Amino acid sequence: MRFGALSLFFTGLIAVAFAAWGYNQYTARRSMEVSLNNRYQRAFYDLLTKTQNVEVLLGKGLVVNGREQSSAIFASVWQQSMMAQEDLGQIPVSPQLTGRTAKFLSQVGDYANTLVRRAGTGAPVTKEEWQRVKSLYNQATILNRELHQVEARVAKGGADFWEIPRAMASGSKGEMGPPQHADFRAMNREMQTYPTLVYDGPFSDHMERRNPLGLTGPVISAATARDRALAWIDRSPGTTYTAKVTGLVRGRIQSFQVQVSGRRAEAVDRATFLISKKGGHPVMLVTGRKIGAPKVGIAEAQRRAEGYLTKIGLGKMRLTYGIRQNGIATFTFAGEEQGTVIYPDLVKVSVALDNGRVTGMEASGYLMAHHARGALQPKISMEQARAFLSPNLKVENSRLAVIPTDGGNEKLTYEFKSTLGANTFLIYIDAANGEEAQVLQLFTSPDGILAM
């Protein structure tokens, strides 16, 4: 009788302890879900704001006539579309569902940048350019309409963005899955009904029709793609990582989509890798976790970004620009050959400033453009090129640089970083004949440096 009472007591004690453990696990999981959902919602509303700004600014671009006003408006369009791309990348939706939207935002930014440069030459806006801006405005209107439909669902309280990566991890396919997944699928489908923009800018469809020059090596298997994703993920100490191939992304660079998950006590890291089918090159990395308060300085973040490039086999790169946004530092690196900076070979690496780990990488530019270029020999000297600069400029430094040109070609130039009063410019002089190839202005802010 006494033994039976003791057994009953210990059984009850174990049951209570198990219930308490289960409750703690539930509350911890719920806290993580709420935190993730808040982060994803913030990214979504930021995206909504930026795309609304793009639509309004494009509308203004249709009616302004002054060169200075036009230049200022399209510079803002470029900035807002670039920031919208960053926000879109933070939303936990498959890149396959946001690809057309991301392409549209990229084209808006690139075309706006082209118009800014054209306005700088004093050339008037042509009828064809006005029609292209109008087409972009119409597409921006459609995009905002679709985004507002997603917003309406969020406002009704029926949306949990954190469900999307969970559904993706569990392998949900087809039209089923979280409501937001279906919304973004519909939005992507809507955007595909519009023709792509065609213009002579460096990122036009003419460029996209090129074959990628940087894909080398044999076609790899899905198992090899999985192993490479595990090797290239920026690991957190004490975390166990697993990976599985969840699909094949088509396009100019066909890639395996690999989901990587890292588990440790009370935390789960998730990341999506795109590994090229030919050669097994890293194309893109996107992670989805909450970024905490900054604890890592920019210099340390840059060192870690450079270390990551070495890890994925792209060590010989040169930092060009950097920007800090929402607790993440994004560094843009260009290739380097024979002491010359190669701007078409671009790679971006993002580092979280809370723990210094790499949260994002984008190497499609590098893979599209990189190739053996042979000897990079200028036909005029640097001093001869300097003579073509405005005498009002004060040159701070100079170097050889390969830049992309309209139509998808490349040009060897001398890059002169110069100042005029408080403004800083990058002047590119053709190393073959001394003609001015391009002029960019550098804008410095607390978040980084932008070149326009």
pLDDT at 387 over 80: yes
Residue 247: the pLDDT is 85
Residue 404: the pLDDT is 83
- Segment among 128-132, 221-225, 347-351, 378-382 with least mean pLDDT: 128-132
User: What is the full DSSP assignment across 76-99?
Assistant: HHHHHHHHHHHHHHHS-S-HHHHH
CA distances from 79 to 172, 343, 451 (A): 35, 20, 10
13's CB contacts (< 8 A; 6+ apart) are: none
Work out the average pLDDT over 341-365. Answer: 90
Average pLDDT, the chain: 79
Work out the average pLDDT over 414-424. Answer: 88
pLDDT band of residue 416 (cuts 50, 70, 90) is very high
pLDDT at 203 over 50: no
**Looking up tokens 């509308």, which residue turns up?**
59
pLDDT at 183 over 80: no
Query: What is d(CA 233, CA 253) in angstroms, rounded to the nearest whole number?
Result: 20
Query: What is d(CA 346, CA 3) in angstroms, rounded to the nearest whole number?
Result: 74
Residue 197: the pLDDT is 47
Q: For the chain, state the CA radius of gyration.
A: 25
Residue 84: the pLDDT is 86
Query: What is d(CA 452, CA 74) in angstroms, rounded to the nearest whole number?
Result: 11
Percent of the chain with pLDDT over 70: 75
Tell me the two tokens of residue 320: 């060009």
Number of Cβ within a 10 Å radius of residue 9: 10
pLDDT band of residue 6 (cuts 50, 70, 90) is confident
pLDDT band of residue 305 (cuts 50, 70, 90) is very high
**Looking up tokens 């075309």, which residue turns up?**
111
Instruction: Quickly list H helices, 288-388.
Output: 298-311, 364-369, 382-386
Residue 263: the pLDDT is 81
Identity at 72, one-letter amino acid code? A
Higher pLDDT, 230 or 269: 230
pLDDT at 27 over 50: yes
Strands 340-352 and 328-337, bridge-based pairing: antiparallel
Residue 43 host element (H or E): helix 2-63
pLDDT at 321 over 70: yes
